[in-house]
């Protein structure tokens, strides 16, 4: 793609010179584009006129809170270019395919039935753009039968099995209502998988000279987290494996695992003491209490089944200390114990400050600052860019499409 007047200057990052078309309708594609843009790629966001309304009133609980909407737009779309077109029109259809042919990476995050009706299914786009890496994100993949299912974060957690696996400590998760994790974890995890697929595609193209279609399923991405649950079902057919943090029963009724969340003076902390050295270290951190020396607590295989007896002693101690005290005492004894941060504690975590993880960016409309996550990976020589302001809807339409038409006429 030729740089035209009004384009931002190249980032100079790891993906400098890489051109990305983001034809999306949700957070997944937006986050994938944001990751690629932060690494130096030039990302063109293809939008329709409705995007003006969607940016102002997203399908989100914060739709009536303008600053939060602006902060989300700032985080997801900063540093991108915006082209406004209608793929349903003859000219818009041609322009979209021209954009995709000019790109190295195309991220497609649209309802499959809708784009099929426009003759722009992911397979069609990939066939028309043989050098492009076309990454299609859907709820359950492009295979027949489920390809037309509409994506949502809630649906992804439901059909992946992830919601079943998150009730916490319950007697029987088979009869306990599933629980969706907080936030939009499916959206952002799917976006990360899409960006990773695009990078893999670039590497493969260096070897083969050809692009290809990457079919990224939210169901598969989240289901991949349930490896052990799937393994238990495979090797112990018909047996249920609970997912509670304590006293977790394996199919044979015995599980030498003692781990989970415990309350303390200022919140909760996570601990693991499934191995003997971890148990001994934890007891040293607690001052070697007398109760821990009782014979029934000496067998690591049995301890996981005796949590109901251990818990009152453990919590009685933990409620006298805060998270920081427990963390440092446990670390000094080589025990994996960590505080459970809330958002404010995460924002003020000295380790994240030392890494420069969170960055403050201005909100254009009122010059206020919004703090957003920065680089998830540090690149020594080509660090993630702190992205410029998000574009107005269609801000770069004239420049980009005119550049494409000029190239076509040469």
Task: Classify residue 387: in a domain, yes or no.
Answer: yes
pLDDT-derived band at 249 (thresholds 50, 70, 90) equals: very low
**pLDDT value for 243:** 38
Counting residues of the chain whose pLDDT is more than 90, the rounded percentage is: 56
pLDDT-derived band at 235 (thresholds 50, 70, 90) equals: low
Tell me the HSE value of 257 on the side-chain side, using a 13 A CA sphere.
14
Q: What is the CATH number of the domain that holds 288?
A: 3.30.1540.10
Task: Classify residue 238: in a domain, yes or no.
Answer: no
Query: Which residues are CB-neighbours of 91 under 8 A, at least 6 positions away?
Result: 85
- Tell me, yes or no, whether 323 and 365 share the same domain: no
- Tell me, yes or no, whether 263 and 313 share the same domain: yes
**Is 29:137 a contact under the CB 8 Å cutoff?**
yes
- Tell me, yes or no, whether 338 and 362 share the same domain: no
- Tell me, yes or no, whether 333 and 375 share the same domain: no
**Is 166:179 a contact under the CB 8 Å cutoff?**
yes
**Count of structural domains, the chain:** 2
Residue 266 above 80 pLDDT? yes
For residues 262 and 283, give the distance between their C-alpha atoms in angstroms, rounded to a whole number.
15
- Tell me, yes or no, whether 158 and 220 share the same domain: yes
- Tell me, yes or no, whether 56 and 192 share the same domain: yes
Q: What number is the average pLDDT over the span 243-258?
A: 44
**pLDDT value for 124:** 97
- Tell me, yes or no, whether 43 and 110 share the same domain: yes
- Tell me, yes or no, whether 187 and 293 share the same domain: no
**Which pTM was predicted?**
0.84
**CA separation (Å) from 93 to 84, 209, 222, 375, 392?**
12, 26, 33, 35, 22
Task: Classify residue 250: in a domain, yes or no.
Answer: no
Instruction: Give the model confidence (pLDDT) of 371-397 as tens digits.
Output: 888 888 888 888 877 677 888 889 999
- Tell me, yes or no, whether 147 and 275 share the same domain: no
Average pLDDT, the chain: 84
Task: Classify residue 9: in a domain, yes or no.
Answer: no
- Structural domain that includes position 282: 259-342
pLDDT-derived band at 67 (thresholds 50, 70, 90) equals: low
To which H or E segment does residue 300 belong? Answer: helix 300-303
Residue 18 above 50 pLDDT? yes
Which stretch of 17-21, 69-73, 138-142, 277-281 has the lowest confidence by average pLDDT? 69-73
Choosing from 315, 342, 369, the residue where a domain stops is 342
Task: Classify residue 241: in a domain, yes or no.
Answer: no
DSSP state of 178: P
Q: What is the CATH number of the domain that holds 23?
A: 3.40.50.10540
Question: Kind of pairing, strands 133-138 and 213-217?
Answer: parallel
Instruction: Give the model confidence (pLDDT) of 147-201 as tens digits.
Output: 999 999 999 999 998 887 776 656 666 677 888 888 899 999 999 999 999 999 9
For residues 190 and 274, give the distance between their C-alpha atoms in angstroms, rounded to a whole number.
32
Task: Classify residue 170: in a domain, yes or no.
Answer: yes
For residues 65 and 67, give the distance between their C-alpha atoms in angstroms, rounded to a whole number.
6
- Tell me, yes or no, whether 31 and 167 share the same domain: yes
For residues 256 and 302, give the distance between their C-alpha atoms in angstroms, rounded to a whole number.
7
Task: Provide long-range contacts, Cβ within 8 A and 24+ apart, for 170-176.
Answer: 170/242, 170/244, 171/244, 172/240, 172/242, 173/240, 173/242, 173/243, 173/244, 174/240
Choosing from 342, 369, 393, the residue where a domain stops is 342
383 versus 309: which is more confidently predicted? 309
For residues 7 and 233, give the distance between their C-alpha atoms in angstroms, rounded to a whole number.
54
- Tell me, yes or no, whether 215 and 338 share the same domain: no
Residue 43 above 90 pLDDT? yes
- Tell me, yes or no, whether 62 and 131 share the same domain: yes
Which stretch of 154-163, 239-248, 307-316 has the lowest confidence by average pLDDT? 239-248
Task: Classify residue 30: in a domain, yes or no.
Answer: yes
**pLDDT value for 174:** 67
Query: Which residues are CB-neighbours of 206 under 8 A, at least 6 positions away?
Result: none
Task: Classify residue 8: in a domain, yes or no.
Answer: no
**pLDDT value for 72:** 84
């Amino acid at each position: 793609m030729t740089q035209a007047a009004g384009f931002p200057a190249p980032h100079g990052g790891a993906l400098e010179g890489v051109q990305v078309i983001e034809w999306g309708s949700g957070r997944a594609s937006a986050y994938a584009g944001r990751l690629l843009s932060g690494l130096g790629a030039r990302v063109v966001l293809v939008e329709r006129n409705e995007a003006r309304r969607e940016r102002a009133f997203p399908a989100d609980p914060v739709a009536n809170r303008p600053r939060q909407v602006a902060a989300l737009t700032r985080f997801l779309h900063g540093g991108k270019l915006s082209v406004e077109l209608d793929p349903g029109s003859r000219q818009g259809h041609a322009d979209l395919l021209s954009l995709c042919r000019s790109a190295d990476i195309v991220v497609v995050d649209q309802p499959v039935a809708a784009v099929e009706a426009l003759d722009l299914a992911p397979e069609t786009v990939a066939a028309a753009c043989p050098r492009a890496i076309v990454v299609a994100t859907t709820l359950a993949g492009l295979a027949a039968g489920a390809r037309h299912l509409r994506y949502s974060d809630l649906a992804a957690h439901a059909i992946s099995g992830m919601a079943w696996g998150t009730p916490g400590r319950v007697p029987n998760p088979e009869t306990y209502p599933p629980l969706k994790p907080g936030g939009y974890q499916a959206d952002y995890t799917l976006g990360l998988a899409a960006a990773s697929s695009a990078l893999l595609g670039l590497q493969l193209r260096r070897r083969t000279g050809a692009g290809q279609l990457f079919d990224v399923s939210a169901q598969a991405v989240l289901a991949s987290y349930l490896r052990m649950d799937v393994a238990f079902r495979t090797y112990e057919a018909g047996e249920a494996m609970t997912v509670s943090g304590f006293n977790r029963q394996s199919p044979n009724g015995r599980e030498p695992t003692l781990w989970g969340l415990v309350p303390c003076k200022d919140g909760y902390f996570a601990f693991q003491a499934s191995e003997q050295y971890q148990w001994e270290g934890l007891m040293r951190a607690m001052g070697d209490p007398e109760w821990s020396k009782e014979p029934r607590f000496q067998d690591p295989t049995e301890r996981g089944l005796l949590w109901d007896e251990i818990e009152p002693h453990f919590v009685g101690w933990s409620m006298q200390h805060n998270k920081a005290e427990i963390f440092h005492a446990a670390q000094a004894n080589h025990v994996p114990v960590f505080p459970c941060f809330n958002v404010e504690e995460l924002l003020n975590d000295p380790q994240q400050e030392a890494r420069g993880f969170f960055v403050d960016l201005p909100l254009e409309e009122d010059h206020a600052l919004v703090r957003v996550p920065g680089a998830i990976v540090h690149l020594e020589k080509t660090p993630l860019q702190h992205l410029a302001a998000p574009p107005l809807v269609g801000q770069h339409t004239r420049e980009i499409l005119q550049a494409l038409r000029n190239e076509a006429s040469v």
